[in-house]
Amino acid sequence: MRLFSLVRAAPAAAAALALAAASSGAQSAATPSVDIPVIPVERLTLANGLTVLLSPDHSAPVVAVSVWYHVGSKNEKPGRTGFAHLFEHVMFMGSQHVPTGSFDQILEAAGGNNNGSTTNDRTNYYETLPSNALATALWLESDRMGWLLPTLDQAKLDAQREVVKNERRQRVDNQPFGSQFEVIAAALYPATNPYSWPVIGSMADLSAASVDDVKDFFRKYYAPNNATMVITGDIDVDRTRAMVASYFAEIPRGPAIDRPVVAPASLDKDKRLVLTDAKSRLPQISFVWSTVGEDHEDRFPLAALGEVMAQDRTSRLTKLLVYDRQLATNVGVFQGADENAGQFIITIRPRPGIALSDIERLTDSVVAGLVAAPPTAAEVERYKNSYVVSTVTALQSVLEKGEVLASGQAFHGDPAFYATELKKSIAVSPGDVQRVASLYLSKGHVVLSMVPAGHLEMISRPDLPYSDVTPTPATAGK
């Protein structure tokens, strides 16, 4: 995860410029010297287990409140998928002292905005509003943390269940090749692995969810001892600490959580898959290798490897396919890290009339080149420059700062883990990049050809055995 808005902007910007200047005049991959920004954070833990991080930033009269619950689709069971995401929606349906429909209205009346999101590993909720309305956000968050269940009934569950189903239809079922990441996950992991099913869940599981099921999920995971709350912005720390205690201290601690730890998967041979879709007129292709997650240091050189291949027009795969050969319109490469596992993904959209087999052959050549020899020092330095500059420029809001502090605390027990990430990212060497390319990209991987329905002749390497993973009317959304 990239870093957040900077308190010491001038030193950090100077460091970024110094890094850029150093790499432009030298080919060494020596670790640059970066003045890592220091973010003031006070951490406190209430008696009920709620972890609270307070970070003052008086640059604007704005405050952000971010609450992370350490629960995502990884905590679900087969047959009961989609609960974490469904509950994200239920949390906006009102609580004992906040009538249905009032949550957004109250915040908007105070000049604020809010949202939430769910991943495999966590669910977050956040508000950004004028600093003089901080108490409003704390009251709303405390009421749904402590007093949601008394008003949760079948009507509320049914309403949000239909919203989630429509979201699935919009984002997955009715998008060209919208199920690609679901079939990739199913190919990488066994069916019992929590990373094998989608965050949004299946239609069947959503339909089967009962009010009691959902209430049990809340009691277990939406307790203060499974939450991290970050308050950033124009705050008085002592006054904010007192407000937090006033609103949250009486909420009872929940049960101890047996948190799953998922071992990274590995394929012993390639899996060639075909996904057809009547909604698409053009093909595309993805290559996916199992890698590592947030909890493994190899994610840093893997991230650099992705940027060496596709960061900009001079990067190897983008340069070859988009600019030199003009065979593709878009090349995307990234290391996607969940908490305990990850995937290295290459996705390419060819120009009309270009064969996927040719795209695969050239992609294989670029991968083989990085497995056989390290990238140049300049290629790795360009990645480092981009990382540092984006750290300085991209995350200027108090909300982004809070999200990164929450991520460090939730996943690593350290709100300042951003500093470790920055150090490890700029310490990556060309040899590190080659090592992870050789270690992970030499293993079996998924090759997913995505073609318009009725055009199997367009798949890559049709001479090789493949599995058709196109959802049927009976299996779509299951």
Q: Mean pLDDT of all residues in the chain?
A: 90
Instruction: Output the pLDDT for position 37.
Output: 76
The confidence score (pLDDT) of residue 32 equals 55
The pLDDT of residue 383 is 95
205 with 85: CB under 8 angstroms? no
Please give the Cα distance from 84 to 92 (Å, whole number): 14
User: Distance between terminal CA atoms of the chain?
Assistant: 31
Q: What is the dihedral of CA 90, 260, 440, 318, to 10 degrees?
A: 10
What is the Cα–Cα distance from 318 to 333, expressed in whole angstroms? 9
Q: Tens-of-pLDDT digits for all 478 residues of the chain?
A: 222 222 223 333 333 333 433 333 333 445 556 677 788 999 999 999 999 999 999 999 999 999 999 999 999 988 889 989 998 999 999 999 999 989 999 999 999 999 999 999 999 999 999 999 999 999 999 999 999 999 999 999 999 989 999 999 999 998 999 999 999 999 999 999 999 999 998 889 988 888 998 899 999 999 999 999 999 999 999 999 999 999 999 999 999 998 888 888 889 999 999 999 999 999 999 999 999 999 999 999 999 999 999 999 999 999 999 999 999 999 999 999 999 999 999 999 999 999 999 999 999 999 999 999 999 999 999 999 888 877 776 467 899 999 999 999 999 999 999 889 989 999 999 999 999 999 999 999 999 999 999 999 999 999 999 999 998 765 555 5
List all residues 6 or more positions away from 335 whose beta carbon is below 8 Å from its beta carbon. 291, 299, 302, 303, 305, 306, 342, 343, 344, 345
At 437-459, the pLDDT tens digits run 999 999 999 999 999 999 999 99
The pLDDT value recorded for residue 476 is 55
Q: Where are the beta strands (DSSP E) in 338-462?
A: 342-350, 446-452
Give the pTM. Answer: 0.89
Cβ(209)–Cβ(157) under 8 Å?
yes
- The reported pLDDT for the residue numbered 474 is 55
What pLDDT is recorded for position 390?
76
For the stretch 80-137, pLDDT in tens is: 899 899 989 999 999 999 999 899 999 999 999 999 999 999 999 999 999 999 999 9
Phi first, then psi: give them for residue 471, nearest 5 degrees.
-65, 140
The pLDDT value given to residue 263 = 82
Nearest CA to 146 out of 223, 84, 83, 47 is that of 223
Bridge partners of residue 331, in order along the sequence: 348
CA 447 to chain centre: 23
